[in-house]
Amino acid sequence: ASKNRLTANAVTSTCCYCGVGCGVVVNKEKNGTITVQGNTEHPVNKGMLCSKGMNLHYTVNDKSDRLLYPQMRYNKSMPMQQVSWDDALNRTAAVFKTFIEKYGPDSVAFYASGQCLTEEYYVVNKLIKGFIGSNNIDTNSRLCMSSAVAAYKIALGEDTVPLCYDDIELADCFYIMGGNPAWCHPILWRRVEAHKAANPDTKIIVVDPRVTDTCAIADLHLQINPGTDITLNHAIGRLLIENGDIDIDFINNHAEGFEQYSTIVFQKTLTESAQICGLTESSIRLAATYIGEAKGFITMWTMGLNQSAIGVNKNLSLINLNLITGHVGKPGSGPLSLTGQPNAMGGREVGGLSNLLPAHRVLSNPLHREEVQKFWGGKPIQPKPGLTATEMFEALNDGRLKAIWIMCTNPLTSLPNVRLAEEALKKAKFVVVQEISNKPETLAYADVILPAAAWAEKEGTMTNSERRISYLNKVIDPPGEALPDAEIICRFARKMGYKGFDFENAAAIYAEHVKLTAKTNIDISGLNYDILKEQKTVQWPYKKKSPTKGTQRLFTDKIFYTPSAKAVISPVPDTLTSEAPDDEYPFILTTGRIRDQWHTMSKTGKVNKLNQHYKQAFLEIHPDDAAILQLNEGDITVITSRRGEVRVQAKLTEQIKRGVVFLPMHWGKILNNDLNRANNITSDMLDPVSKEPDFKYCAVNLKKYKKP
């Protein structure tokens, strides 16, 4: 990439969409608008940006949908009125205090987002766990990475990605399962493409029920039946053992669980596994050969594994392939989960989920609770995990939860079986919505609306998929009376009468977070804003007296963070618990992203260029299935499940397996029409460990729409 154009007001920042974490240079132009370029000096993207990143400035420059001032209504039948920040926060504090006194601290909850900055996460987590006295904080990261988090913790003893992006250029075999990085993590995928182009012997195996753009450079595409990932991984594990392509030294000295694993992977013959997965035996053999011959082996995955009723087990079955081959803790090797959101990892660093404490401390550990309580100087921290994302809405429905504060997320498009969430917000006694845009459907249910500053209008930090922390500069002021999210939470905490929320600035919040990480596995005690501004980005851990500036790779010494210091090979069962198709609902629905939209489109949907890729929601269906249903290209199709209905145009394609259909997840309610919304019909079944929903598998029926 050519060198960046720099005005006198140019600053560096990080793209606020996916977890790849591309660096950008933001120029403030003379007319007050901003322009954005890929940062040519950034180690992640070296100047490249994908379609979403290239159009970041449009979403900031276009203020037409921005919330400009706090609004409030005194009862549900009244219209919203503009009020001062003091009025909005005084009333909210009074309502929260009343509920907490009358029904206890667990009657209130905060639902946040993997798009929040680390500092924002830190203060809201501190507020509810340390001062309100409840663990009812969860984020939309629960819908995204929680299965991977749980699996890392079991396998490696810590929620951590052990390798770095520079390992891509050192690997000679990639196994991508349940992800379409060519569309969803494009800049990282450009690096894989460039590496493959320069080293044609590099093997790329893609596992996906659909033929995606990621398959374009694949040596092998395993188009499996949805939900059969564990069966496939076990079959490959078995072949690796049979072929002698495992790392005996690593297994004997640095891992445990291999015996039980080898028993379970031999329970099915290759013929049985191939039949279950809908693959040929020879294709599975070829995958095992590629992996067995690899000197550097990277597994990559995302929502296809995570968003499942057996998401944790799917993750573990994949990480097992790295462990039995010893491909972890060495250059060019390891498991690399691709994070959907820009700062899901930062949120977990501060403990911003209902079952976590700061710096990955464990909520159930009394010493950890005491340590954090002493540091914060607040109330004793409760041992019981709080409500997770979907549980919060269940609790609103049955009346256990009275008030919910929704910040930086759009649950009425993104939650599974979303009509339950709508019912929940109708029943909620008090709803606070902290938002940048006037578009999200949640605003219709709000009692108080708090206008927030957007990307480039506030400073803070984020951590990407390879543990890389970056500092985001503030470039312009937020419009109207909008405030940074951390400032809003701190003002509210002070209204509640809590001490410890009078931070001078974001740097002071960060400094407090950093102190809490000392001597933990994610120790960043050597870090502060000055260092981050000077070095631009660093990878954690970044210890105080560390001779290195951050940590590229973990476990190079083969000492893991488990109690035994060994990696854990898990003998997971391969039983699928998802809603099975039957005569009434004979098709399997899977959902996902398209190339040019982000989440629920409240930002990318503002950009004309990005809306050209797909102008509306659609249903992908195989032509043979369409023929039986007498569906033609473009026909409006009614898709029903046990939970609801969607009506979108059919898109006939041989790139999807027969019996499987695909809906994009981005569209919500448009002008009172909510029939584009995939989550009207998705399953709210959860993984029992991670509590992540089963977005990728449910039973549906299809028919051509006929005018009544």
- Residue with Cβ nearer ligand SF4 (19 or 668): 19
Q: Per CB under 6 A, does 440 bind ligand SF4?
A: no
8 Å CB contact between 371 and 333: no
Cα 80 to Cα 662: distance, rounded to the nearest angstrom: 39
How does strand 636-640 pair with strand 203-207? unpaired
Does the N-terminal peptide bond of residue 541 adopt cis geometry, omega within 30 degrees of 0? yes
Q: How far is the CB of 185 from ligand SF4 (least distance, A)?
A: 6
Q: Is 22 in the site for ligand SF4 (CB under 6 A)?
A: yes
Phi-psi region of 203 (alpha: psi -120 to 50; beta: other; left: phi over 0): beta
The reply to whether 165 sits near ligand SF4 by the rule CB under 6 A is no
CB closer to ligand SF4 out of 343 and 682: 343
Q: Provide, rounded to whole angstroms, the least separation between the CB of residue 53 and ligand SF4.
A: 2
Q: Does residue 58 touch ligand SF4 according to CB under 6 A?
A: no
Residue 296 touching ligand SF4 (CB under 6 A): no
Under the binding rule (CB under 6 A), the answer on residue 144 touching ligand SF4 is no
With CB under 6 A as the contact rule, the residue among 13, 26, 53, 679 that binds ligand SF4 is: 53
Other CB atoms within 10 A of residue 77 CB: 6
Token pair recorded at residue 587: 């098709």
**Interface region with ligand SF4, contact rule CB under 6 A, candidates 12-20, 108-116, 390-398, 560-568:** 12-20
Asked whether 59 and 607 are in contact (CB, 8 A), the reply is yes
Q: Is 297 in the site for ligand SF4 (CB under 6 A)?
A: no
We find the least distance from the C-beta atom of residue 591 to ligand SF4, in angstroms, to be: 19
**187 belongs to the binding site for ligand SF4 (CB under 6 A):** yes
The span from the CA of 282 to the CA of 235, in Å, is: 12
Q: What minimum distance in Å lies between the beta carbon of 396 and ligand SF4? A: 32
The Cα 127–Cα 177 span in angstroms is 38
Q: Which two tokens stand for residue 277?
A: 């997965």
CA atoms of 516 and 548, how far apart (whole Å): 21
Residue, CB closest to ligand SF4: 53
Give the one residue of 11, 34, 36, 49 binding ligand SF4; rule: CB under 6 A.
Answer: 49
21 binds ligand SF4 (CB under 6 A): yes
- Tell the smallest beta-carbon distance from residue 606 to ligand SF4 (Å): 15
Which region among 184-192, 318-326, 363-371, 651-659 touches ligand SF4 (by CB under 6 A)? 184-192
Give the residue with the Cβ less far from ligand SF4, 58 or 297: 58
Crossing angle of helices 506-517 and 366-376, rounded to 10°: 150
Does position 18 bind ligand SF4 by CB under 6 A? yes
Give min distance, CB of 52 to ligand SF4, in A: 4
Cβ(69)–Cβ(82) under 8 Å? yes
Q: Which stretch binds ligand SF4 (CB under 6 A): 48-56, 263-271, 473-481, 517-525?
A: 48-56
Distance of alpha carbon 38 from alpha carbon 12, whole angstroms:
10
Gap between the Cα atoms of 587 and 580, Å rounded: 9
3-state secondary structure of 299: strand
Using CB under 6 A as the binding rule, whether residue 387 contacts ligand SF4 is answered as: no
Reference 510, options 115, 22, 123; nearest CA is 123
Task: Verify binding: residue 601, ligand SF4, rule CB under 6 A.
Answer: no
H or E element, residue 702: strand 698-704
CB closer to ligand SF4 out of 18 and 72: 18
Q: 185 vs 195, which CB is nearer to ligand SF4?
A: 185
Q: What residues line the site for ligand SF4 (CB under 6 A)? A: 15, 17-18, 20-22, 45, 49-50, 52-53, 185-187
